[in-house]
Amino acid sequence: RINQDRLMHDIHSTCEWGKGEAWGDGPTETGMSRLSLSDTDKQARDWFADTTTSLGCKVHVDEMGNQFAIRPGLSNEEPPTYAGSHLDTQPTGGRYDGILGVTAAVEMLRTLNDNWIETNHPVGVVNWTNEEGARFPMSMVSSGVWAGAVPLEKAHNLKSVIPANDTATMKSELERIGYLGEVAASYKATPMAAHFELHIEQGPILEAEGRRIGVVQGVQAYKWFTVTVKGRDSHTGATSFQHRADALLTAAKMILASHKIATKHKALASTGILTLRPGSTNTVPGFVQFSLDIRAPLDETVELVEKECRSAFTALAAGENAYGVNDQCHPSDRQCSVEWATDFVNPATHFHEDCVSCVQQAGSDLCGGGEVSGKDIGAWGKLMTSGAGHDSVYTNKHCPTSMIFVPCRDGVSHNPAEYSSPEQCGDGANVLMGAVLRYDKL
C-alpha cells in the first residue's frame, strides 16, 4: 500500500510552483497555472529529477524535454514498465490533471524502496512535456514525437499561443530552461515494456455512479482545426446589414451550427479560442479565427461531423442557411470566405488487453473484488472510454498501455476548482502500483 499522506504532500508542495486562482479559503484550495516550459514548470521538473535520482533512479531527458527515471530490476535485459503522466497544466487548470499521475508514480518508487521490493524488470517513471497543448497548441506532442507520429522539427517549431504575443517556440523554451536533452525523442532510444497512467476522470460518471476506479479501455477520437473567416472591416453605424461581410456574426453562426451538428450525432464540438481584427466597438470585424475541437467515440462520427461542419460553414459564409441558423437574419450582398487548417488528428485508441486486465485486477485487489476478467467487473469499478486524450494514446502505438481513472468532484477539470479527495488519489496510486507490479510479473 502506498502512503497517502506522503502522496498528498508531494502533490500540494509541488503545486506551490505555478499556483493559480483560489477557489476556497484553504492554502491548497487554488488552481494551477503552470504552462509547459515556463519558469514554474522548470521548478517542477527539477523536483522530479532530484527526487527520482535520490530514490536511486537513473534519469535522462530527451530532445522534447521528456524526463525518464529508471529504477533497476533483477534483470535489466528488458525495457522498463513505466508509470507516468505530465506536470504541465492549463492556464486556469487544477492540481490533479497530470500531476496526480506523476506524483503517484513517484510515490510508487518510494513505496517499492521502503519495502525493499525488487522487480523482475526495471520500473520507470515518466514526465511528458506539454501534454496539455495549451501553451504550444498540440496536445501530447512530446509523446507524439517519442512515438514517431509527430516530426521532431514540427514539434520544436511550435509557437507559444499563451501569453499573447509571445514569440517563443518549444525549442527555444526547452533551451532556455535547460531541458533540451541529447537523447533522441523516440521509442527506440527510450523503449518501454508497458505504460500505465493514472489520471482524474475529468468527467462526472464515476462520481455519479459511486465507483472508485475507472478501468480505461481506450480514448475517443478527436480532431482539432483552426477556422479562419474573412469578411470586410466596415463602420457599424454607417454600413447597413445588406452591405456587410461581418466575419464575427458569421463565425457566431458557425459555432452555433457546429454545436447543432455535434448534438445531432451525439458527438462534441467546442470552440475554446477566438480572436478577431481589428477589435473596435464601431468597426464590423473583417477577420476572425477560431479553434474547433470535434470528438466522438468512433472515427467515422468525427469525420461525419467534420464533413457536415465544412459544408455548413461554406453555406453560412455565402449567406445561405444551414441548420436554421440563418432564419430571420438579414440578407447581405457580400460574402465572407472560410478556410480550414487541420492542427491535430487523434484516431480512436484501444488499449492493450494485457494492460487493461492488469488494471482491472489491481482495482479488484484494492477493493476486495476477487478475480475479475473481461466485462466482469465489481461495483467498485467501471470499464470506460476516455473523453480526453492522454500521452497513453501515443505510448499505446509502441507498447501495451492502459489507464486508471479516479473520480473528480462534479466532473470538473481544466478549471481551478478541479478536485479529488486524498482517498480517491490514494486509491488511484495503489491501483497504479498494483498494475505495474502485475505487469512486471507477466
Ligand X SMILES: NC(=O)NCCC(=O)O
- Please report, as residue ranges, which positions from 12 to 71 form the binding site for a second copy (by CB under 8 A): none
Of 62, 107, 132, 201, the residue at the interface with ligand X (CB under 6 A) is 132
The span of 4-12, 73-81, 129-137, 143-151 binding ligand X (CB under 6 A) equals 129-137
Nearer to ligand X, 57 or 83 (CB): 83
Which 3 state secondary structure label does DSSP give 223?
Answer: strand
| Residue 268 binds which entry of ligand X, a second copy, none, CB below 5-8 Å type-dependent | a second copy
The span of 40-48, 120-128, 320-328, 422-430 binding a second copy (CB under 8 A) equals 320-328
54 binds ligand X per the rule CB under 6 A: no
Residue that is written with C-alpha cell 468527467 in the block: 203
| Residue 329 binds which entry of a second copy, ligand X, none, CB below 5-8 Å type-dependent | a second copy
CB 57, CB 125: distance < 8 Å: yes
92 contact partners, CB below 8 Å, separation of at least 6: 20, 21, 31, 33, 414, 415, 416
The span of 4-12, 42-50, 273-281, 358-366 binding a second copy (CB under 8 A) equals 273-281
CB 195, CB 105: distance < 8 Å: no
Residue that is written with C-alpha cell 440578407 in the block: 331
167 binds a second copy per the rule CB under 8 A: no
Cell of 292: 474547433
User: CB of residue 4 vs ligand X: minimum separation in angstroms?
Assistant: 23
Nearer to ligand X, 58 or 235 (CB): 235
- Please report, as residue ranges, which positions from 192 to 221 form the binding site for a second copy (by CB under 8 A): 201-204, 220
301 contact partners, CB below 8 Å, separation of at least 6: 221, 265, 266, 267
Nearer to a second copy, 293 or 391 (CB): 293
| Residue 368 binds which entry of a second copy, ligand X, none, CB below 5-8 Å type-dependent | none
Nearer to a second copy, 125 or 288 (CB): 288
Instruction: Count residues binding a second copy (CB under 8 A).
Output: 81
| Residue 383 binds which entry of ligand X, a second copy, none, CB below 5-8 Å type-dependent | none
Beta-bridge partner residues of 61 = 67
User: CB of residue 115 vs ligand X: minimum separation in angstroms?
Assistant: 31
Core vs surface per residue 183-201: b (16+ CB within 10 A) or e: eebbbeebebbbbbbbbbb
Residue that is written with C-alpha cell 457536415 in the block: 308
Q: What is the Cα–Cα distance from 9 to 371, expressed in whole angstroms?
A: 33
What is the distance, to the nearest Å, from the Cα of residue 124 to the centroid of all Cα atoms in its chain? 21
One character per residue 364-403, x = contact with ligand X (rule: CB under 6 A):
------------------------xxx-------------
- Please report, as residue ranges, which positions from 110 to 139 form the binding site for a second copy (by CB under 8 A): 132-134, 137, 139
CB 267, CB 276: distance < 8 Å: no
171 contact partners, CB below 8 Å, separation of at least 6: 156, 157, 180
Of 22, 74, 189, 273, the residue at the interface with a second copy (CB under 8 A) is 273
The span of 143-151, 152-160, 249-257, 298-306 binding a second copy (CB under 8 A) equals 249-257
Of 158, 185, 249, 433, the residue at the interface with a second copy (CB under 8 A) is 249
Nearer to ligand X, 141 or 377 (CB): 141
- Please report, as residue ranges, which positions from 80 to 119 form the binding site for ligand X (by CB under 6 A): 97
- Please report, as residue ranges, which positions from 363 to 402 form the binding site for a second copy (by CB under 8 A): 386-389
Core vs surface per residue 219-242: b (16+ CB within 10 A) or e: bbbbbbbebebbbbebeeeebeee
Which 3 state secondary structure label does DSSP give 168?
Answer: coil
User: CB of residue 276 vs a second copy: minimum separation in angstroms?
Assistant: 6
Beta-bridge partner residues of 126 = 68, 84
- Please report, as residue ranges, which positions from 262 to 301 form the binding site for ligand X (by CB under 6 A): 282
255 binds a second copy per the rule CB under 8 A: yes
User: CB of residue 250 vs a second copy: minimum separation in angstroms?
Assistant: 10
What does the CA dihedral 63, 70, 391, 148 come to, rounded to 10 degrees? 50
List the beta strands (DSSP E) in 237-374.
268-270, 274-277, 283-284, 287-296, 337-346, 349-350
Nearer to a second copy, 391 or 440 (CB): 391
Residues forming contacts to ligand X in the complex (CB under 6 A) are 97, 131-133, 139, 235, 237, 282, 388-390
